[in-house]
A and B are shown apart, each in its own frame.
Chain A
């Protein structure tokens, strides 16, 4: 019965052979995700959109921000026209002579950055608030959740409009407005999950090990709450992108000098009824494809992460 501590005991190889392959939760998730063709198509489309917007300077004939390269004589040219600058505008040009293809890729950059950055910051903020709300509980929890109720009861477009009107134009301002609009979704989602996780035995076990509160909250409970957050993150990113486009379309979002997709659509709107459909149409298609791609990916993530939908 006596063995010195640390000595290996060969008494208990009771379970089956040790599997050498260690599968991380992410690997399992990825495998399940890839089973759905539509989702893979969505992911491919999204990857294509992100990649082409990233390498935009190298694959576009014109930098739409560079006014020295924009020629007013090129304005409102239909798709496929030869421009004064010497390249073919496959998607036409807009009211001030900017190439639409270039404009769309540069606009996608801004739209994606606004959507992703505001989503990530709102997610971080909302998660922290939701976790603390769930773990501390009591009056603080009630207060935070009423605040969330208040936030969610107001239409997001209205809140964003008011904020942007107060803050002014600019990418940073619109990101702030979108964070204010979005954090409550994350806070509520995380709080709900964390309330369940908090009462699980592994939390008691972590407490019994003498771990600190913040460690238990952020290192033990948080990773277990991530699944629904990722789902909300994809849906909300799509939402943020369309909300930014809406604000820009209404003329309160981004200035003309930073043309997001919404600005491009707004620019062409006045020409819609005079047969120059392309100025609004192509940016609109780009926006549509981006949002559809994100939502396809988001739907699949939700299906994979939801244990109740398992076949």
Chain B
């Protein structure tokens, strides 16, 4: 699989009055054609900012400080507004968290869909409408021709998210970034949407970055998973490897705190403490204050990324290496 997207050493900082907030700090990953990457982390871990950075939608005071984002070999960092606009919605689409909010409440669905096509190519209104209808049918909206004329408030939450997905698919992008698109939906609708996305991406070879905090979603959907903590990737690897044998104590903590892992009647296991403020990170490993296995070195120096077999990487001084032996260090 050739890589659709290659992100290396991406750093996005926000200059605030309280100091520099390193929302994304040295993140590297790649997504191949038709591959689904689950980007997992708590609130404030930088996963959404990573998505926005790829889209070129980081607003001041935030900015991409360093690193590179390559889409099909083309560098996106430093691209001007005009160039970035040609890529947004055409090469990369985005699906947002709350389908109640992402559709313009006063414009009809067909208007919004035609606009998405119009922004990138000159077609007749009729052809655009036909394509819009086709896209709605593809995501499983019944009576698509009628529904095109409807307003967003006439759709249920699940249907709206389908519409949002249809809009994202309109221009056959090579990459879709989905920012927690099922968080606002109930579980049955969530599973329908997940199945639909998986199917559509497999069919069209579209790469998908699925940003979520829900590990169960990742388990069912993604091929590979990247776990973020405090603006850094702490662990990446194939989804089965990472979820079955986590290397990083944070990943293990996340897995242990799932209700399905606990004993009924017993309190759920928690990761102690809070996510650190990104403006005031500890000098060593960002997870050290919450980590059970932390030793003196963890508080002193930030761990390098360690490469493990089967394309795995973990950023920890004391990885659970009973399952895998490290094979080397990355550049950082």
Whether A18 touches B142, Cβ cut-off 8 Å, given contacts A5-B203, A6-B137, is yes
Given A7-B137, A210-B89, A224-B104, 4 more A-B residue pairs with CB atoms under 8 Å apart are A18-B147, A19-B154, A200-B101, A208-B55
Q: Is B242 an interface residue (CB 8 A)?
A: no
Whether A8 touches B116, Cβ cut-off 8 Å, given contacts A18-B146, A208-B55, A223-B107, is no
Chain A residues near B144 (CB-CB < 8 A) = 8
Q: Is B75 an interface residue (CB 8 A)?
A: no
Interface CB pairs A-B, < 8 A, 17 = A1-B202, A4-B203, A8-B144, A11-B140, A14-B159, A200-B101, A201-B97, A201-B102, A202-B102, A204-B102, A205-B96, A207-B57, A207-B88, A208-B89, A210-B119, A223-B104, A224-B106
Whether A15 touches B85, Cβ cut-off 8 Å, given contacts A210-B90, A215-B115, is no
- Establish whether residues B57 and A205, one from each chain, have CB atoms under 8 Å apart when the complex forms: no
- Establish whether residues B106 and A212, one from each chain, have CB atoms under 8 Å apart when the complex forms: no
Question: Please, how many angstroms separate the alpha-carbon atoms of A14 and B192 in the complex?
Answer: 9
- Establish whether residues A212 and B85, one from each chain, have CB atoms under 8 Å apart when the complex forms: yes
- Establish whether residues B203 and A25, one from each chain, have CB atoms under 8 Å apart when the complex forms: no
Chain B residues near A173 (CB-CB < 8 A) = none
* Shortest distance between the CB of B31 and any CB in chain A (Å): 17
Q: Is A47 an interface residue (CB 8 A)?
A: no
Interface string of B249-282 (1 = CB under 8 A from A): 0000000000000000000000000000000000
Question: Please, how many angstroms separate the alpha-carbon atoms of A200 and B144 in the complex?
Answer: 27
In B120-176, the 8 Å CB interface with A consists of: 120, 134, 137-138, 140-144, 146-147, 149-151, 154-156, 158-159, 162, 164, 167
The 4 closest A-B pairs by CB, nearest first: A12-B140, A210-B89, A209-B89, A210-B88
Question: Please, how many angstroms separate the alpha-carbon atoms of A226 and B106 in the complex?
Answer: 10
Q: Is A20 an interface residue (CB 8 A)?
A: yes
- Establish whether residues B196 and A12, one from each chain, have CB atoms under 8 Å apart when the complex forms: yes
Question: Please, how many angstroms separate the alpha-carbon atoms of A22 and B152 in the complex?
Answer: 11
Chain A residues near B204 (CB-CB < 8 A) = 5
- Establish whether residues B142 and A13, one from each chain, have CB atoms under 8 Å apart when the complex forms: yes
- Chain A interface size, as a band, is 35 or more
- Establish whether residues B88 and A208, one from each chain, have CB atoms under 8 Å apart when the complex forms: yes
**Residue in B closest to A207 when the chains form the complex, CB atoms:** B57
Interface string of A1-41 (1 = CB under 8 A from B): 11111111101111100111011110000000000000000
* Shortest distance between the CB of A297 and any CB in chain B (Å): 22
Count B-side interface residues using an 8 Å CB cutoff: 53
Question: Please, how many angstroms separate the alpha-carbon atoms of A212 and B115 in the complex?
Answer: 11
A209 is contacted by which of B88, B107, B203 (Cβ under 8 Å)? B88
Question: Please, how many angstroms separate the alpha-carbon atoms of A50 and B73 in the complex?
Answer: 65
Q: Is B105 an interface residue (CB 8 A)?
A: yes
Chain A residues near B141 (CB-CB < 8 A) = 12
- Establish whether residues A208 and B94, one from each chain, have CB atoms under 8 Å apart when the complex forms: yes
Q: Is B79 an interface residue (CB 8 A)?
A: no
Chain A residues near B116 (CB-CB < 8 A) = 209, 211
Q: Is B65 an interface residue (CB 8 A)?
A: no
Q: Is B189 an interface residue (CB 8 A)?
A: yes
Q: Is B323 an interface residue (CB 8 A)?
A: no
Whether A18 touches B143, Cβ cut-off 8 Å, given contacts A12-B192, A205-B164, is yes
Question: Please, how many angstroms separate the alpha-carbon atoms of A205 and B165 in the complex?
Answer: 12
Chain B residues near A15 (CB-CB < 8 A) = 155-156, 158-159
Whether A9 touches B88, Cβ cut-off 8 Å, given contacts A18-B143, A202-B102, is no
Q: Is B297 an interface residue (CB 8 A)?
A: no
- Establish whether residues B86 and A202, one from each chain, have CB atoms under 8 Å apart when the complex forms: no
Question: Please, how many angstroms separate the alpha-carbon atoms of A20 and B96 in the complex?
Answer: 28
- With most chain A CB atoms within 10 A of its CB, the pick from B96, B144, B198 is B96
Chain A residues near B137 (CB-CB < 8 A) = 6-9
- Establish whether residues B102 and A210, one from each chain, have CB atoms under 8 Å apart when the complex forms: no
- Establish whether residues B119 and A212, one from each chain, have CB atoms under 8 Å apart when the complex forms: yes
Chain B residues near A169 (CB-CB < 8 A) = none
